[in-house]
Structure 1
């Protein structure tokens, strides 16, 4: 069961959110209400980006499940700006949560999660996509950055 959870990016997001919140509790720093409100705005923006990306993939009839061979190379919608908009949304969501929870010390979890997502998921996914879509993926990779 743990191995299966480790293969799901939302499980990593949850783990890093808990770690960031714990760090914020251990190192309390009060934030102005405007920054906490910004955190809520970031959470909402991240959820909207996730939904937009998932809907774009659904319309292209391809999977959002990591590790599965995509049925299409999706380069439109949010994929015009980021090769990994859902992973980008994970990072925005985590940052927003840390601000909304008034746990700015937990913001150190954001780059740590980015590193885990890149090494555990993105590099493997890019290898699979490059093998499946060859030159089309190479052109896309040159045109669109990994994160933003």
Structure 2
């Protein structure tokens, strides 16, 4: 039996931990500007992707019935997971704003949790539903960003293992 926690709930929990870790931290104008830049890019990724899914009248949760269109445009050109990356970016933005390296720990835990518990199941469904079209997308678009550490690129999905590293 596995427990599924919706990604926004995981992000909210990570944010709660960040708040607890940064109670005594103070922001400066420079860090506020940096956090704003990271936050704006994160909002563009998440909401931009969501808008594309709405435009194509498909669900943003591929596990549920109704995923009828493989969205590969907009933010999905840059990453296969712009909504998750947007959530991680917003958490990162908060850590920058609060000038707290410790506040990056919940960001890392969020990314690892999503990467291990959420994405493999979604990728499996997308492979099944869209076949070669999805495989072409995987071959040209990284899971997170252009460069990812090897430990993040690995998955537990047997069909995604190969002798070459995953993007």
TM range (shorter): 0.7 to 0.9
**Could you say which residue in structure 1 is the equivalent of 2:48?**
52
Could you say which structure has the greater relative contact order, defined with CA pairs below 8 angstroms and 6 or more residues apart? 1
1:75 aligns with 2:109: no
Partner SS state of residue 22, structure 2: helix
1:98 aligns with 2:87: no
Q: Is the 8 A contact 2:26 2:98 kept in 1?
A: no
Question: Which one of 37, 42, 47 corresponds to residue 38 of structure 2?
Answer: 42
Question: Structure 1: how far apart are the matches of 2:116 and 2:79?
Answer: 17
**Could you say which residue in structure 1 is the equivalent of 2:12?**
14
Question: Structure 2: how far apart are the matches of 1:99 and 1:22?
Answer: 15
Question: Which one of 112, 116, 119 corresponds to residue 119 of structure 1?
Answer: 116
Cα offset, 1:134, TM superposition: 1.0
Question: Structure 2: how far apart are the matches of 1:140 and 1:102?
Answer: 37
Q: How many residues of Structure 1 are paired with residues of Structure 2 in the alignment? A: 142
For residues 33-63 of structure 1, the C-alpha deviation after alignment (integer angstroms, 9 at most, x for no partner) is 3123211222222122211100111111111
Question: Which one of 124, 132, 138 corresponds to residue 135 of structure 2?
Answer: 138
Question: Structure 1: how far apart are the matches of 2:142 and 2:41?
Answer: 20
Once superposed, what is the RMSD of the aligned Cα atoms?
Answer: 1.9
Partner SS state of residue 71, structure 2: coil
Cα offset, 1:32, TM superposition: 4.2
Question: Structure 2: how far apart are the matches of 1:93 and 1:125?
Answer: 22
TM-score (normalised: structure 1): 0.86
Q: Higher helix fraction: Structure 1 or Structure 2?
A: 1
Structure 1 residues 103-112 or 77-86, which shifts more? 103-112
For residues 85-123 of structure 1, the C-alpha deviation after alignment (integer angstroms, 9 at most, x for no partner) is 111111111000122234332112111110111122111
